[in-house]
Amino acid sequence: MLAWVIGSAEIAELAGRHAEQQLAWRVADLDRLAGVADGARSGEITVLAAFRPAAEGLARLDLSIHGTLVLTCQRCLGDLVWPVDLSAELCIVASDDDAGRLREPIDAVAPGPEGLSLAGLTEDEVLAALPLAPMHAAGAGCMAGGPASVPDGPNRPLAGLAALLKKDADDPVGGR
C-alpha cells in the first residue's frame, strides 16, 4: 500500500469499472511531504481515488485528499497546523500528444516507466497547494514580533474639541 503503482493496463481496467480506492499514507513515509512537514506529528494523508473512463479512450482520475500537516511558520518558526482538504481531477495520458488532444481543461498526468504512483501524485497535489512560505494568519497565534500595537483607547481626534464646546456651553454668558 505504501507506493501503490499502477500500470497502463490496470488503469484502463480500473477506469472501465469505475473503481474507487481509499488509500492512506503516513506523512512520515512520504519523503517529499516529510521534507516540509513534521512527519511524526502530521499523521496520515488519506486519499479517495476514483477512476472513470474519459473521452478519447483515456482514463480520468479524481482524487480527494485529506489530512493535517504540522508545518513550521516562516515568521515565528512555531508549529503551524495546516489542514489538507483538496480535490484534483486528472486525466491519465500516455504521452504529451495525448495531453494535446484533451478537449477539457484538465490536468494531464503521464505514468512513469514503472507506472502511475498514487503516492507520488498525492504528494504533487498537496505540495502544489502549499504556500511557499507558510505563516500563521495575522492574530492567529503567531509568536513573531509580539501583538500588534493597539492604541490605548479609541482614536477620537475631535474629543478635545467636544470638551471645548461643552466648556463654552457651561460658561454663564451675559447676565443669565
Q: Which residues bind Zn ion (CB under 5 A)?
A: 73, 75-76, 136, 142
Grid cell in block for residue 158 = 475631535
SS (H, E, C) 121-173: HHHHHHHHHCCCCCCCCCCCCCCCCCCCCCCCCCCCCCHHHHHHHHHHHHCCC
Specify the residue, 53 or 134, whose C-beta has the smaller distance to Zn ion: 134
User: For residue 53, which of 12, 90, 7 has the smallest C-alpha distance?
Assistant: 12
Specify the residue, 7 or 141, whose C-beta has the smaller distance to Zn ion: 141
To Zn ion, the closest distance from the beta carbon of 36 in angstroms equals 16
To Zn ion, the closest distance from the beta carbon of 127 in angstroms equals 21
Specify the residue, 49 or 71, whose C-beta has the smaller distance to Zn ion: 71
Grid cell in block for residue 88 = 484534483
To Zn ion, the closest distance from the beta carbon of 125 in angstroms equals 25
How do the residues of the chain divide into helix, strand and coil, expressed in percent and rounded to 5?
A: 30, 30, 40
To Zn ion, the closest distance from the beta carbon of 147 in angstroms equals 13
Specify the residue, 148 or 158, whose C-beta has the smaller distance to Zn ion: 148
